[in-house]
Amino acid sequence: MTDYSGLKVLVADDDSLFLDFVKMVLSDLGIRDVVSVGDGTDAARNIIETEQDFDLVICDYKMPGFSGMDVFRLIRKADIPVKFVMITARDRNEDAETISGGGCENFIAKPIEPKTLRDTLEAILREN
């Protein structure tokens, strides 16, 4: 198993139960440095304004404040080299088209099984 213990991850979702679920999966991967926020505005602030070096951002598509796409676009506009995963509440074609059409190739539809999330995150983290 790859050592992910040195990674720093930001998780943004307005559902506190889902935040806990993602943190549990990240913990199973050995990732302990996790910042969680409940809206897109706080996500953008943590990434851009504080200049923290995150290795991965996991962000809900629809949240109060900035949407997940807003956060993704701000990160790319600021040229911050971070891996990004969008979470959408449902597997709707229009959401998938908007997300991938906006340049975010990594997205997962809820509901998500722990193994699916873990496997997806491991695949994304292994990408160069």
64 preceded by cis ω (within 30°)? no
Average pLDDT of the chain is 86
Mean local confidence (pLDDT), 107-127 = 87
Q: Which residue has the higher pLDDT, 50 or 6?
A: 6
pLDDT at 96 over 60: no
Q: Which residue has the higher pLDDT, 94 or 77?
A: 77
Mean local confidence (pLDDT), 22-49 = 93
**Is residue 127 one of the residues assigned to a domain?**
no
**Is residue 128 one of the residues assigned to a domain?**
no
pLDDT at 51 over 60: yes
Note down the domain range covering 79.
8-120
On whether the CB atoms of residues 35 and 11 are closer than 8 A, the answer is yes
Residue 54 banded pLDDT, cuts 50, 70, 90: very high
What single string gives the DSSP state of each residue in 7-48? -EEEEE-S-HHHHHHHHHHHHHTT--EEEEESSHHHHHIIII
Which CATH number belongs to the domain containing residue 55 in this structure?
3.40.50.2300
**Is residue 48 one of the residues assigned to a domain?**
yes
Residue 90 banded pLDDT, cuts 50, 70, 90: low
**Is residue 126 one of the residues assigned to a domain?**
no
Query: Exposed/middle/buried for 1, CB within 10 Å: 0-12, 13-18, 19+?
Result: exposed
